[in-house]
Copies of this chain bind each other. A is one copy, B any other.
């Protein structure tokens, strides 16, 4: 069976994965906002370290009600737009379809489950460095692999394997996870210190790793997130912290996605990544003081940053 895909939010992430899937032969439908006219006429351009390609003709939509119901609905908006999901998702997902949450943060799948039912929700962890450099014009810089996990059940489902097959044919390395919560928390171990401190201290990952004080703080934040995960019933191996530090030491100096949003005066995903994690941890009885301090700092910066851009 050939699966149809809807891309909800055709930006740096949705544009990249959607273009790769269509390039590999899948049926794709793209929801666009500001770029709609341009993409309808000119299609998508993907510049990539794995090879450039162009899609002169794509199925572009400005209104969700014009889209056909699809097998796989990929949520590729920034989480700051998720208040739109109750309007966007029901018209476009087939009864036996799946909504693939390709966003950062914790607890988004549960929000989507409220809208479409838990059994239709799947999570995708995207490890991607890409930018949108013009209307319908994506530049893929690095990485791109995806982790998949079911929301309502544990273990590896047939539909996970089917979607992974499509992604693999599109050249996207895909890992199947038996427990989505574990990998969501694992990703937070990296995202919380580096996304948060890069914004608060106006710093790249390598600056944070070079200064002994921020290096220590990164490690303390990581250990706090590991403790929070335990409180929430998710075991993360102690060695994860050391591995992530070593992995980041070897990365090229990197401007985090949250820092890019901040610099471009876009709303930051503070609630999805920090607020939801903090509330989950504190509801489970953790104190999470380091995370809470960072959360309050980011909320202050986000409010000022988006207020002054208007």
The chain B residue with its CB closest to the CB of A287 is B289
Is A81 among interface residues, defined by CB-CB distance under 8 A? Answer: no
Min CB distance, A185 to chain B, in Å? 20
Chain B binder among A14-22, A40-48, A96-104, A294-302: A294-302
Q: Is the CB of A213 within 8 A of B296?
A: yes
Given contacts A289-B289, A289-B290, A290-B289, are A296 and B200 in contact (CB under 8 A)? no
Q: Check A203 for interface membership: any CB of B closer than 8 A.
A: yes
Complex Cα distance, B303 from A88, in Å, reads 48
Q: Are B290 and A214 in contact (CB under 8 A)?
A: no
Question: Hey, which chain B residues are within 8 Å of A299, CB to CB?
Answer: 211, 213
Cβ of A158 under 8 Å from chain B: no
CA A24 to CA B304, docked complex, whole Å: 47
Q: Are B217 and A301 in contact (CB under 8 A)?
A: no
Q: How many copies does the complex hold?
A: 2
For window 151-188 of chain A, which residues contact chain B by CB distance below 8 Å? none
Q: Does chain B have a CB within 8 A of A87?
A: no
Interface residue? A293 (CB, 8 A): yes
A216 to B289 CA separation, bound complex (whole angstroms): 13
Q: Is the CB of B293 within 8 A of A214?
A: no
With a cutoff of 8 Å between Cβ atoms, the chain B residues found around residue A301 in the complex are 201
- Judge whether B296 and A294 touch: CB under 8 Å: no
**Whole-angstrom distance between the alpha carbons of A294 and B201 in the complex?**
11
With contact pairs A217-B296, A293-B290, A293-B294 given, residues A303 and B211 touching in the complex (Cβ less than 8 Å): yes
Kindly identify which residue among B213, B220, B300 contacts A300, using a CB–CB cutoff of 8 Å: B213
A200: chain B residues within 8 A (beta carbon): 200-201, 297
A interface residues with partner B (beta carbon < 8 Å): 197, 200-201, 203, 207-208, 211, 213-214, 216-217, 220, 289-290, 292-297, 299-301, 303-304
